[in-house]
């Protein structure tokens, strides 16, 4: 017989007039290899048919089931109950708009962020469907691929102290997206374009360096390295701009 697990789950339906945020309590028996995601399905099927949470792939790829599990933003489908205590507390991840219970709307924020950073290849060359693609160095291609592994789960934003204070902060997700195009030689944006976009309090210099995002990323992306890379590049561009201004002032 497995452990008896106690679940404390945040409940709130903002579409209902008289509904107020509260905690509901559930108990289920633990089974081998049980994860939080499967436990939620069991609770919904047997005890709370109106329980709201998100899911798509069930394999840690879509990012839909991100939630706060015992105070830590992570994916429910990748969290085994055997790694948790007998009492498990579940809350929606902060920062994003709450839809109901454990479900939040990450899509609107990620779309707005993508539009703000213009996350597409910028080039003046006209597309020629008959032309052969220029071959890319394999090492560079792998670096670009690494930046495409973000599943937009929102855990990094939920774990970011700055993002919880400043809603316009790009955060790890936005800066990682910027880094993807910054290292892509096919993107023809100039240093000045990047500097104006990212060298602000909402950009790379708004980060206070606690790196909560790096701690909670379920895909183990190199967020810390990307932050350091972009900050170093922007600092270099800013220094050259300052030296140019001083030189012009002298002459």
- 169 and 50 fall within a common domain: no
Task: CATH number of the domain at 52, please.
Answer: 3.10.20.30
8 A C-beta contact, residue 180 and residue 119: yes
pLDDT given for residue 112 in this prediction: 93
Q: What is the pTM of this model?
A: 0.89
**At 184, is the secondary structure helix, strand, or coil?**
coil
pLDDT given for residue 246 in this prediction: 53
> How many structural domains comprise the chain?
2
- 58 and 114 fall within a common domain: no
- 163 and 117 fall within a common domain: yes
The C-alpha atoms of residue 94 and residue 103 are separated, in whole angstroms, by: 11
Compute the radius of gyration of the chain from its Cα atoms.
Answer: 22
The C-alpha atoms of residue 250 and residue 190 are separated, in whole angstroms, by: 26
- 142 and 218 fall within a common domain: yes
- 111 and 217 fall within a common domain: yes
The C-alpha atoms of residue 129 and residue 125 are separated, in whole angstroms, by: 12
Domain that holds residue 35: 4-104
pLDDT given for residue 209 in this prediction: 80
The C-alpha atoms of residue 215 and residue 226 are separated, in whole angstroms, by: 14
pLDDT in tens, 167-194: 789 999 999 999 999 999 989 999 888 8
8 A C-beta contact, residue 27 and residue 7: yes
- DSSP one-letter code for 146: H
**Residue ranges in the chain whose pLDDT is less than 50:** none
Q: Which of 228, 178, 177 is nearest to 205 (CA)?
A: 228
């Amino acid at each position: 017989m497995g452990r008896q697990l106690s679940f404390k789950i945040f409940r709130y339906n903002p579409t209902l007039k008289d509904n107020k945020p509260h905690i509901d309590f559930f108990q289920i028996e633990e089974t081998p290899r049980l994860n939080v995601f499967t436990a939620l399905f069991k609770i919904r099927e047997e005890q709370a048919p109106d329980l709201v949470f998100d899911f798509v792939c069930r394999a840690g790829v879509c990012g839909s089931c991100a939630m706060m599990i015992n105070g830590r933003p992570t994916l429910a489908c990748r969290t085994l109950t055997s790694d948790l205590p007998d009492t498990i507390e579940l809350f929606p991840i902060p920062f994003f708009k709450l839809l109901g219970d454990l479900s939040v709307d990450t899509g609107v924020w990620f779309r707005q962020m993508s539009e703000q950073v213009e996350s597409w290849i910028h080039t003046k060359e006209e597309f020629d469907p008959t032309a052969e693609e220029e071959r890319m160095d394999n090492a560079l291609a792998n670096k670009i691929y690494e930046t495409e592994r973000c599943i937009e789960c929102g855990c990094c934003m939920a774990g970011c102290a700055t993002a919880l204070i400043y809603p316009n902060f790009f955060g790890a997700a936005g800066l990682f997206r910027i880094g993807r195009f910054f290292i892509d030689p096919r993107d023809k944006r100039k240093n000045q374009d990047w500097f104006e976009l990212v060298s602000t309090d909402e950009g790379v210099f708004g980060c206070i360096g606690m790196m909560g995002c790096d701690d909670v990323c379920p895909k183990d992306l190199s967020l810390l390295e990307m932050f350091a890379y972009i900050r170093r590049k922007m600092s270099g561009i800013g220094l050259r701009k300052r030296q140019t201004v001083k030189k012009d002032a002298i002459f």
